[in-house]
């Protein structure tokens, strides 16, 4: 592999393709389509303060959240690149209530893509980094075109997952199962260049990321675990440092590189979300696949996120993700203190 400075993400995709003899280039092209969308979204995110694109569109999405103009731009950019590529049969996006089925005149492809076009977008107006998250499954339905079942597959069946983080620099981090690799956008040449080959998350960290404002609504196990992290025990590196950006991609990315644990547990803050806030298909499952391939672990508190069976497009799940030993330790607290009421 040549030096980092000239190893583009496209060349890396093609290298990965060589280890999948059955691949015909369609999958590689799909990854390139997503990288292209990332470059276009990065351009807009990075000038958001300069043009009339900040602020709200006035619409409300299925999540009941006000749609930010950049959300809408990112969503439309990804859809318009992917729906006519001939590589995709179904698209599931946070911004659309219904799944998007690729219909004539466009050719239906062999892959189903779930995505959060711009996660953390409530942070845009305050200049906090945000990100695009994607997950790719193989088409499993038998018909000539896609079905929702092509999206509703477990995280373990993902062919690829990744994110693009629009921060102090724009990075694309992805896995096709064979390691996790990070590429930094060089805007002067418009290329994602290899900057973080084969990322491995430390087995244990000393940082935790959680919205402590939800404390009153946490289960006993979550409360005791967070209290445990704050106790003095130099042997185990406690007390941990608290870092919470409120943008999943940013909190996840920091913990992926330095170690640590991110938690969005179930809370009863709003009866509409007894299963936490984050969505399984396009937030939890892709992050779970990435962290798994980097040597970490992702849980809903009881079981591996990768084994959860999706039942509907915008299904939510608690997400505890990061360093393997930290997430496993959280599960022990849940097993001990949140015993199912018989």
Site residues (vs ligand P6P, CB under 6 A): 119-120, 122, 211, 246-248, 277
Annotated binding-site members? 94, 116, 118-122, 211, 244, 277, 283
Q: Which pairing describes strands 170-175 and 207-209: parallel, antiparallel, or unpaired?
A: unpaired
Rounded Cα distance, 331 and 335, in Å? 6
Q: Return binding residues for substrate.
A: 119-122, 211, 244, 277
Least distance from C-beta 122 to ligand P6P, angstroms?
A: 5
Cβ proximity to ligand P6P: between 163 and 240 the closer is: 163
Compute the least distance from the CB of residue 318 to ligand P6P, in Å. 12
Residue among 96 and 122 whose Cβ is closer to ligand P6P: 122
Instruction: Name the β-bridge partners of 114.
Output: 92, 135
Contacts of 195 (CB under 8 A, 6+ apart): 4, 171, 182, 183, 184
* Pairwise CA distance, residues 78 & 117, whole Å: 7
Considering the complex, what minimum distance in angstroms separates the CB of residue 86 from ligand P6P? 31
| Identity of the residue, 67 or 248, whose beta carbon is nearer to ligand P6P in the bound complex | 248
Nearer to ligand P6P, 85 or 114 (CB): 114
Give the list of residues 6+ apart from residue 246 with CB closer than 8 angstroms, or none. 120, 122, 123, 128, 211
262, two tokens: 């991110």
Cα 195 from Cα 3, distance rounded (Å):
10
Residues 6+ apart with CB under 8 A from 82: 30, 33, 34, 37, 88, 91, 113
Tokens 């969503």 belong to residue: 75
Write down the least CB distance from residue 111 to ligand P6P, Å. Answer: 25
Q: Which of 250, 247, 246 is nearest to 258 (CA)?
A: 250
Find the shortest distance in angstroms from Cβ 162 to ligand P6P.
16
> Smaller CB distance to ligand P6P: residue 139 or 253?
253
Strand partners, 279: 316
The minimum distance between CB 119 and ligand P6P, in angstroms, equals 5
With respect to ligand P6P, which residue has the nearer C-beta, 248 or 327?
A: 248
Nearest one of 125, 134, 127, 133 to 66, comparing CA atoms: 125
In the bound complex, what is the minimum distance in angstroms from residue 182's beta carbon to ligand P6P? Answer: 19
Q: In terms of CB distance, is 207 or 247 closer to ligand P6P?
A: 247
């Amino acid at each position: 592999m040549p030096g980092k400075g000239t190893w583009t993400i496209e060349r890396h995709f093609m290298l990965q393709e060589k280890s999948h003899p059955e691949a015909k280039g369609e999958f590689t092209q799909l990854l390139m389509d997503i990288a292209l969308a990332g470059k276009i979204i990065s351009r807009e995110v990075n000038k958001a303060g300069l043009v009339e694109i900040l602020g709200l569109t006035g619409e409300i999405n299925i999540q009941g959240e006000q749609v930010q103009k950049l959300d809408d731009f990112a969503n439309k950019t990804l859809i318009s690149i992917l729906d006519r590529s001939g590589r995709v049969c179904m698209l599931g996006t946070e911004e659309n209530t219904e799944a998007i089925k690729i219909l004539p005149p466009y050719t239906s492809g062999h892959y189903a893509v779930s995505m959060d076009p711009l996660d953390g977008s409530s942070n845009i107006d305050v200049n906090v980094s945000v990100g695009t998250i994607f997950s790719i499954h193989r088409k499993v339905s038998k018909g000539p075109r896609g079905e929702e079942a092509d999206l509703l597959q477990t995280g373990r069946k993902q062919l690829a997952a990744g994110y693009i983080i629009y921060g102090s620099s724009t990075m694309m981090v992805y896995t096709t199962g064979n390691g996790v690799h990070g590429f930094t956008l060089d805007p002067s040449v418009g290329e994602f260049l290899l900057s973080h080959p084969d990322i491995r998350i430390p087995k244990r960290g000393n940082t935790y990321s959680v919205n402590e404002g939800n404390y009153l609504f946490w289960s006993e196990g979550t409360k005791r675990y967070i209290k445990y992290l704050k106790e003095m025990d130099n042997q185990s590196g406690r007390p941990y440092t608290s870092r919470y950006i409120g943008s999943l991609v940013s909190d996840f990315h920091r913990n992926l590189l330095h170690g640590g644990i991110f938690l969005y547990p179930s809370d009863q803050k709003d009866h509409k979300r007894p299963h936490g806030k984050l969505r399984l298909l396009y937030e939890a499952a892709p992050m779970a696949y990435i962290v798994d391939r980097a040597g970490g672990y992702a849980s809903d508190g009881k079981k591996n996120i990768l084994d959860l069976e999706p039942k509907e497009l915008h299904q939510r799940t608690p997400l505890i993700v990061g360093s393997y030993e930290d997430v496993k330790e959280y599960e022990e607290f849940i097993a001990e203190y949140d015993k199912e009421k018989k």
